[in-house]
């Protein structure tokens, strides 16, 4: 199966197989007017399967959010048909508005307007904790 190469846009490569739709939703790609291609279960040269998302426009992508959801992703910025920037993601120090704190004793449970902010507590294990109550969010939890 082939998808046309993009001239100016973004390629999110090495997405863990099966995660592309979650990323599509969180980055709100459905709101874009440009073409967006989702390739699921592509064969990876590194072995195994991967998902790929190609966006036919250079948009602002929140790399922190992306890094939290799937830190193995590579973000390629393509201009005039060439990759001009390749970013390897890592777990961000802080994420806002991605993970919801489920601790019923947390202040965020009663004050709806407060942003849900999590801080990376253990990079090795990918553990994030709520900045307000320090409740643990399992990596990948929403």
Partner 1 sequence: MKDLISITDLTVEELQELIDKALDIIECPDKYAEKCKRKKLATLFFEPSTRTRLSFEAAMLELGGSVLGFSEANSSSAAKGESVADTARTVACYADIIAMRHPKEGAPLVAASAADIPVINAGDGGHNHPTQTLTDLLTIYREKGGFSNLKIGFCGDLKFGRTVHSLINAMCRYEGNEFVLISPEELRVPGYIRKDLLDRGGFKYVETDNWDLLPELDILYMTRVQRERFFNEADYLRLKDVFILTAEKLRSAKEDLCIMHPLPRVNEIERAVDDDPRACYFKQVLNGKYIRMALILKLLGIE
Residues that bind partner 1 (CB under 8 A): 103, 105-111, 113-114, 130-135
Nearer to partner 1, 98 or 130 (CB): 130
Instruction: Show the tokens assigned to 70.
Output: 């799937």
CB 52 within 8 A of CB 39: yes
Nearer to partner 1, 96 or 133 (CB): 133
CA torsion sign, 88 to 94 to 100 to 102? positive
What minimum distance in Å lies between the beta carbon of 103 and partner 1? 7
What minimum distance in Å lies between the beta carbon of 104 and partner 1? 9
Nearer to partner 1, 44 or 103 (CB): 103
Q: Degrees (nearest 5) of the Cα angle 16, 99, 113?
A: 150
């Amino acid at each position: 199966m082939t998808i046309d190469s993009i001239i100016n846009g973004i390629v999110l490569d090495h997405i863990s197989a099966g995660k592309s739709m979650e990323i599509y939703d969180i980055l709100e790609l459905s709101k874009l007017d440009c073409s967006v291609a989702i390739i699921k279960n592509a064969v990876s040269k590194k072995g195994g399967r991967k998902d790929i998302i190609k966006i036919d426009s250079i948009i602002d992508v929140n790399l922190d959010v992306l890094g939290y959801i799937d830190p193995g992703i590579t973000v390629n910025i393509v201009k005039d048909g060439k990759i001009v920037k390749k970013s390897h993601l890592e777990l961000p120090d802080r994420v806002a508005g991605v993970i919801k704190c489920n601790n019923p004793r947390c202040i965020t449970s009663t004050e709806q307007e407060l942003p849900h902010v999590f801080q990376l507590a253990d990079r090795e294990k990918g553990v994030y904790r709520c900045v307000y109550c320090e409740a643990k969010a399992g990596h990948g939890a929403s």
